[in-house]
Structure 1
Amino acid sequence: MSQAPPSERNPFEILGLQGTEELPAIRKAFLLIAASTHPDRLRMKSPEEKAQALELFLVAKKAFEALSPPDKRREWSERMLRAGATQGPARTPPPVSAPPVSAPPVSAPPVSTPSMGPAFTPPPGLSPPTSGPRPAVSESGARATPSPETAALQLYRMGMSALEAQDYAKALGLFSRAAKLMPIPRHQAMELVCRGQQYLSTRFFDRARESFEQALRLLPSCREAQVSLELLEKQVSRYHRGR
C-alpha cells in the first residue's frame, strides 16, 4: 500500500501522535520536531541536509496549523480512529518464553562458632532493646567506664598540651571540664591561668592580673600563674613606654 502524499496524511501521524491529544501536547510534539529541523539550527550542515530538514520542518508546521482549530482537530481525530478500526487491532506476537536457567547451587560459607568473648555494652545514651532478654555482662568482659579522677587527669594533660601550644581557648575548655569532674585547686588554678592569658592577649591587664592572683591564692605553688604574672608586668611596662 503506497504512502499518501504529505497533504493527505493525517497531521497526527506526521507529528507522531495517536489522534487523541489536545493542543498543548500537539504544540509540544511540533516544537520537538522544529528543534532539530529548523533552518536556524542547521547552519553548519550541507545544502542537501538543510533542504531535507527544511522540508520536514514545513510539513510539521503545516500539520500543526491543521490541528490548531478545534473543529479540524476533532475531524482529523475521528478520521484517524476510523482508519484504525478499519485496519483492525494489531496482532501482537506471543511472548517468547526463555528456557529455564538452572542456577548453580550456592553453597553457604561455613559458619564458625565464635568463642565466648566480652559481652556487648551499649554506648552512653543508647538504651538496650526492651524486647527479648538483655545480654549478660560479665565483670571481666564489660567495658570499664573511666572514673572521674582518670577522666579529669586526661583532660588536664590535654589542657597542658594546648597551653604549651598557646591555644588558650582550647586549654581553658579542657581545664574547665577537668575542674567540673574533679574540683581540686590544681584544675581550678589552671582554668584561671588560661582565662588570664586570654585577657592578656587582648590587653585587659587588670582582669588578667586578677585571674593570675586568684590562681596563686588557690595554688601558691602554681608555676604557670607566677610566670604569667611576670609576663604581664613586662607587657604592662612595655605598653606604657610605647605610649
Structure 2
Amino acid sequence: MSQDPSSPHDKNPFEVLGLQGTEDLPAIRKAFLRLAAQSHPDRLRMKSQEEKAQALELFLSAKKAFEVLSQPDKRREWSDRMARPKSAPTPAPQTPSAPMTPPAEASSAPVASRPGPALTPAHGVPVASPSPPTPPSSAAPRAPSGMHPTAEPKPASRAGPLPAMVALQLYKMGMLALESSDYAKALDLFAKAAKVSPTPRHQAMELVCRGHQYLSTRFFDRARESFERALQLLPECREARAGLDQIDKQSSRYLKGR
C-alpha cells in the first residue's frame, strides 16, 4: 500500500532511507539495499527477540519506502514536499500595557476643625453637638442550609473515558486495518489496545499481525510460531487458524517454485 504525501501520519520515505530528497532512483535503490542488508532478520540470528523485532520493523519500513519512491509521481511529490520551507511560528501579539495612574496626592486643603461645644447665652452651660447618624452595616450573605459558612462548593470532577471503552475502540480500528491487509497499522493499534487493557484477545491479535508481517517476507517458521502463540493465548482465535492455513498454502507454492 503506497503512502499518501497529504497524510501527516505517514513517514517520509526519504527520511526512512536516510536521504535528502533530491536523489534519483539508482541512489534510492542503493540506500534501500544497504538498509536491507543491515536489518534483514537472517543476519541477526544470534540477537535477542526484541532486537530481531526492531530489525524486522526497520526492514519493512525501508521496503515500503522504496516501493513508494520507485513511482516517479510519488517521488516527485515527496521531493517537492521536502523542498518547501517550513513556516516560522508567528509571534504572539503583545498587548499594550495600561498607563499607570499616579497616586492621588493628599489634598492640601486644611482639615475643618470640629466645632466645640456651644454655650447657651442664658446659662453658659456647654451643650454637646449632635453626632452624625451611623450608616447601617451591610449584612453578610447567608450560606445555604446544610453547608458550613466558610465552606466553598467544589467543582464536579470530570471522569475520563474508561480503559475498556478505549481498548474496544482501538480493537475495532485494528480489525479494519487487518481486513485491508495493513498489518503495520493493525499491529500498532492492537499493541495499544493490549497496553490499555491486557486481555488475551488483544494480545493474541497483536501476535496475529506480527505473524502476517513475517509471512509477507516469507519467514514461514517465525510466522508459524507467532500464530501458534496466539492460539495458546486464545484457542478460539479464528484469525490465527486462518494464518496457519495460509502458511501451508504459501510454503507449498514456494517450495514448488524452487
> Hey, which of these two has a bigger chunk of helix by percent?
1
- TM-score greater than 0.5 by the shorter chain: no
Structure-2-length-normalised TM-score: 0.40
Structure-1-length-normalised TM-score: 0.42
* Structure with greater Cα Rg: 1
